[in-house]
Structure 1
Amino acid sequence: MILRRLLTIAVAATLPGALWAAGEVTQFTLENGMEAVVIEDHRSPAVVHMVWYRTGAADEPPGVSGIAHFLEHLMFKSTDDLENGEFSRIVEANGGSDNAFTSWDYTAYFQRVAADRLGLMMQMEADRMRDLVITEADVVTERSVVLEERAQRTDSSPGALFNEQMRAALYLNHPYRIPIIGWRHEMLELDLDDALAFYERFYAPNNAILIVAGDVEPEEVQRLAEEHYGPLQPTSDLPERVRPSEPDHIADRTVRFEDGRVANPYVSRTYLAPERDSGAQEDAAALTLLAEILGGNGTTAVLGRTLQNEEGRALFAGAYYQATSLDDTSFTVLNVPVPGISLEEAEADLDRVIADFLEIGIDPAQFERIQFRYAASEIYNQDNVQGLARMYGVALTTGLTVEDVQAWPDVIAATTAEEVMQAARALFGGDTRSVTGYLDRPAAVEAEEATQ
C-alpha cells in the first residue's frame, strides 16, 4: 500500500494541469451536430487540429473492402476551392505538417501548425468535408498507390500476412475480420462510385468530431468552428452505427502459415476480449494490467521472466491488449522460441506458464510497481499534445466520452489484484473464443539451409 499512497501523492503533485483537471478540456457541439473538444496547452505557440469521422474499415459495405482507407487517400485531391494536392502544399507553406490515418472504427485527418493558422486549417478541412471533387483519373492513380502500399506493408511481410489470417479466423462474423487496407481482389475493383457513395454517406458534420489541442482559448476555437464548420449541412439520414455481431464460438481454431522469409518462427494465441465501455471500464482496466503483468517488461513480466530469463527457452515472450475499440477486441499472448524448440513445445510452454500464473497469482510488489509505472506513463503523456488529441479522438469514435478518458487513470488505480485474476480466469478459462497461430518456415527450406 505504500506505493499506492505515493502514487496518489505523485499524481496530485505532478498534475495541476492534467488532462482531467477542471478547465483544461472543453466540449461543445455545433448546431449541425459536429462535436468538438478543446485541450489547452500554452507551453508552445502551436496547435494540433484534427477531424475524426465515426467511420472506418468495419463500416464498409460488403464487397468493397479498403474503401475507407482508399477514400482517405482521395481526400487529398481537389475540392471546389483547392487544386489537387494544394491542401498539403498550403499546410507546408505555413510551416506545418499534415497527414491522415484509418482504422476499423475511425478515420482521422490532422495538421500541426502555428496557433494563428488554426482558422485556415478549419477553412480547408471544412471545404473537403463537403466539397471533395474526385475524377476517374484520381481513382486510377490512388488505386495503384494503395495496391502498392498493400504490396509493401502486407504482401511482402510474412508476419503481416499471418496476422491478417489470424484476425480473419478470430472474428467469425464481425467486420473486424477484414483488413483495413482491404483484400487485394476487392481493392482492384474499387471505383469512383464506391468512393463517392462512402464519402456522401459518412463524411458529414454530424458524423465528425473536431479535436483542437495546443495554445488556444476555447472561446476562440468555438468562434472559428462556428464560422467554418457551422454552415455545413448535416446528413439527415445518417445510418445508425450497427455492425454484425459475433455468434457463439464453439470450436477451437488453429492457423498454420509457412513462408520461407520467416526469420524467427513463433506461436501466438489471440482471444476475443471485452473492450472499454462507457461508464464501465473496470474489465478493460483489469485486462490492461493483466497484459502488463504477463508481458509488459521482458525482465519482470511473467512470460518474459520465466521463458526468456529463467529457462532460456524463448527469444521473446509477451502479451498485448488493445482496450479501445467499439466492439469486442483482442488479447494476445506470444512466444518466439529459441532455435531447436518446436512451435508445439513453445505452445506448451505458453500454456504451462499461464496455468502456473492462474494457480500462484500476482506478486503484490510487482502489482504495485505496474500500477505506479502505468500512472507515470499517463503523466508523461501530457507532454505530447498530439498524443493527447489522438487519445481523445480514439476514445470518442469508439463509444467513450471525455469523462471516461478523464476517469481512466482512477479506474486503473482502483483495480485490485483479485480483479485482475478474475479477468485472467475468464479470459483463459476456455479456448473456444481463441485462435492459436503457428508462423513457421517450410520444412524444405529448413532442410536445405541445414545442409549448406
Structure 2
Amino acid sequence: MPARSPSSPHLRRAASAGLLALALTAAAPLIQSPPVAGLALPIGAKPAQAAEKGVFFPERFTLSNGMQVVVIPNHRVPVVTHMVWYKVGAADEQRGQSGIAHFLEHLMFKGTDVIAPGEFSRIIAKNGGRDNAFTSYDYTAYYQNVARDRLEMVMRMEADRMANLKLTDAVVYPERDVIIEERRQRIENEPADRIGEQINATLFFHHPYGTPVIGWPQEMATLTREEAEGFYKTWYTPNNAVLVVSGDVTAAELRPLAERYYGAIPARPVPERKRVEEPPITSSRQVVLRDAEVRQPSVRRTWVAPSYRLDPDHQAYALQVLAEIMSGGTTSRLYRSLVVDQKLATSAWLGYGPTAYDMATLSVGASPAAGVEMDKLEAALWAEVDTLLKGGVTEEEVATARKRMLAAAAYARDSLTGPAQTLGAALATGQTIDEVENWPVNIDAVTADQVNAAARAVLSNTNHVTGLLLPLSGKDS
C-alpha cells in the first residue's frame, strides 16, 4: 500500500490563490502521499485568452445511478489521470470517531474477493502506473496515473473496491496501528504540524474543522472494523462520488467503460451532510508551542473567511486577488517589505483558499531572519496588515495581480493531473463545473474597492488565532 504523509501546514490552508490549479492544496488539510503532483503550470496557452470564459473545457455526463463523470481531454501524450472523489471527509465523521475517514482510505487498499490485500497498488505499478489517495475534511479521493491503454483496467479495479471491499480483523487492526504510528511520526514529531493542529482546534472549537483529519490519538486507538464498514456502507456509493478522468481520452470513449464498471453499481441513500456552526466569537486567542526540534521559528495569524460555497457577500474572488498582491512571489507586498527591504524575515505570506464545503480560512505569517527577535518580526508583520487595512490596495496592484492570475489559469490546462484535482475538489465541495469555468471572468472583474472591502471584512475581525512556533530557548512575543 502506498505510504502517506500529511501536507505541510502551508499547503493546508495557505497558498497563493493566484494559481487556479492550486485550489486543491489551498483548501483543507490533506493526509496524502506523495505531494499532489502535476500542478506546475508550464507555458503553452495564450494569457490574452485567459479572461474569456473557460479554463479546462471539460465534457460531462451522469450515469443512471447518479454518479457524476467529468472528462478533460488532453491528447499531448497517451496518458490519463483517473480519479474517484467521494463527497465525504473527516468533517463528516461521527463525534468520537475522529480519523475514521482517513482510516478507511487506508483500508480501501485491503482487497476484495477479486484483488488480494495490497495487490491493488502492485498491479498498478506492474503496469507502469502510480496510484495513491488522500483524505481532506470535505472529500476523499483515489487516483491512478496510467497509460491510456490501462485505463479500463484501473476503472474495473476502482469500481470493484467501491462496491466489494472486504474487511477482516486480520487486516483492519494492524492497519490501525499503522495510522497511529503515522500520526506519531508525521504530527507528534513535527512541531510545525503540531502547532497547525492546535491553531485549527482553537479557531474551530465547535465545528469539525477543529478536529485533525488524521484523528485524535485516543479516538484513533479505539476505531473498529465495524465502524470502518459502517462508514464505507454509508458514504461509498456511486451517487456520492465523482469520476474525473483527464488525459488522452474523450467522453465518447469513456462513457461505455464508465457505464460498464461504475454504472452497474446500485445507488444507495446517502445522509445529508450536516455540520454544526461555530458560535459567535469576538475574542482573539494565542497558541504558543516551544520545542527543541524547532529550527525555523514562525508566527502566523488565522481568521475564518468565506469559501466559494458560503460567500454571501461575494468576497472569495477579491480575497484571492488580495493573496496574490500580498504574497504572490518576490515582488509581493509582504516579501518585498519584510524580506527584501527590512530584512526581518526569510519568508512572509498571506494565504487564502476558498475551496471548502463550509468556512475557509485566511492566514498571515512569517519566519524571522537569523538574529531577529520574534517580537520585532511580529510588530512589522502586523504593521503591514494595518497598512493594508488603512490604505488599501491600488487599482494598479489589482490589475497586475489579475494579469498574473489569468496567465496562470491559461497555463493550467497544460497540466495532466491539475485539472482533475481542481474540478474534483470543486464538485466535492459544492461548486459546479460552470463556476470553475467562470473563474477567469470572475477574477478579471475584481476591483480595488472589492479587494479592500473584503480585506477589511476579514482582517478587521478580532476572532483570530495567533500561533507562535518557537525553540525552547528565547523569549515570547
Match of 1:225 in 2: 258
Aligned 1:17-166 pairs, distance under 5 A: 19-20=55-56, 24-166=57-199
Match of 1:271 in 2: 303
Aligned 1:190-201 pairs, distance under 5 A: 190-201=223-234
Q: Distance in 1 between matches of 2:91 and 2:394?
A: 39
The two structures have a TM-score, normalised by structure 1, of 0.91
Q: Distance in 1 between matches of 2:90 and 2:383?
A: 37
Secondary structure in structure 2 of the residue aligned to 1:141: helix
Deviation at 1:403, TM superposition (A): 0.3
Q: Distance in 1 between matches of 2:120 and 2:260?
A: 19
CA change 1:49–1:291 in 2 (3 A) is same
Deviation at 1:436, TM superposition (A): 1.1
Superposed CA deviations along residues 394-434 of structure 1, whole A, max 9, x for unmatched, are: 000010010011001111111111111111111121212x1
Aligned 1:300-379 pairs, distance under 5 A: 300-379=331-410
Gaps of 5+ in 2: 1-44
CA change 1:281–1:226 in 2 (3 A) is farther
Deviation at 1:363, TM superposition (A): 3.7
Q: In structure 2, give the amino acid aligned to 1:395.
A: A
1:251 aligns to 2:283 (yes or no): yes
1:416 aligns to 2:447 (yes or no): yes
Deviation at 1:250, TM superposition (A): 2.6
Check the 8 A contact 2:351/2:363 in 1, yes or no.
yes
Secondary structure in structure 1 of the residue aligned to 2:351: strand
Superposed CA deviations along residues 252-310 of structure 1, whole A, max 9, x for unmatched, are: 2111111111112222100000001389794111111111211222x322222112222
Q: In structure 1, give the amino acid aligned to 2:132.
A: N
Match of 1:441 in 2: 471
CA change 1:279–1:156 in 2 (3 A) is closer
Q: In structure 1, give the amino acid aligned to 2:222.
A: E
Check the 8 A contact 1:105/1:326 in 2, yes or no.
yes
Q: Distance in 2 between matches of 1:100 and 1:69?
A: 10
Moved more, 51-60 or 213-222: 213-222
Secondary structure in structure 2 of the residue aligned to 1:249: coil
Deviation at 1:96, TM superposition (A): 1.5
Secondary structure in structure 2 of the residue aligned to 1:213: strand
Q: Distance in 1 between matches of 2:233 and 2:452?
A: 47
Secondary structure in structure 2 of the residue aligned to 1:439: strand
Q: In structure 2, give the amino acid aligned to 1:441.
A: P
Check the 8 A contact 2:65/2:239 in 1, yes or no.
yes
Deviation at 1:379, TM superposition (A): 2.0
CA change 1:405–1:279 in 2 (3 A) is farther
Check the 8 A contact 1:104/1:176 in 2, yes or no.
yes
Deviation at 1:243, TM superposition (A): 0.7
CA change 1:301–1:19 in 2 (3 A) is closer
Superposed CA deviations along residues 371-392 of structure 1, whole A, max 9, x for unmatched, are: 1111111122211111110110
Check the 8 A contact 2:52/2:440 in 1, yes or no.
no
Q: In structure 2, give the amino acid aligned to 1:102.
A: T
Q: Distance in 2 between matches of 1:108 and 1:267?
A: 32
Q: Distance in 2 between matches of 1:95 and 1:291?
A: 39
The two structures have a TM-score, normalised by structure 2, of 0.86
Deviation at 1:10, TM superposition (A): 4.4
Q: In structure 2, give the amino acid aligned to 1:172.
A: F
Q: Distance in 2 between matches of 1:355 and 1:387?
A: 35
What is the Cα-based RMSD across aligned positions, in Å?
2.1
CA change 1:430–1:279 in 2 (3 A) is closer
- Normalized per residue, the structure richer in helix is 1
Secondary structure in structure 1 of the residue aligned to 2:315: helix
1:290 aligns to 2:322 (yes or no): yes
Check the 8 A contact 2:206/2:276 in 1, yes or no.
yes
Q: Which of the numbers 218, 223, 241 marks the counterpart of 1:208?
A: 241
Check the 8 A contact 1:162/1:257 in 2, yes or no.
yes
Q: Distance in 1 between matches of 2:313 and 2:68?
A: 23
Q: Distance in 2 between matches of 1:10 and 1:196?
A: 49
Secondary structure in structure 1 of the residue aligned to 2:334: helix
CA change 1:86–1:98 in 2 (3 A) is same
Gaps of 5+ in 1: 1-8, 448-452
Q: Percent identity?
A: 44
Match of 1:171 in 2: 204
Relative contact order, CA 8 A, sep 6+: which one is greater? 2
Moved more, 90-99 or 73-82: 90-99
Q: In structure 2, give the amino acid aligned to 1:25.
A: P
Deviation at 1:191, TM superposition (A): 1.6
CA change 1:418–1:304 in 2 (3 A) is same
Larger Rg: 1 or 2?
A: 1
Deviation at 1:330, TM superposition (A): 0.5
Superposed CA deviations along residues 116-164 of structure 1, whole A, max 9, x for unmatched, are: 2222211111110011001111112211221222122111111110000
Q: In structure 1, give the amino acid aligned to 2:259.
A: E
Q: In structure 2, give the amino acid aligned to 1:301.
A: S
Q: Distance in 2 between matches of 1:242 and 1:353?
A: 38
Number of matched pairs: 431
Q: Distance in 2 between matches of 1:430 and 1:441?
A: 29
Secondary structure in structure 2 of the residue aligned to 1:383: coil
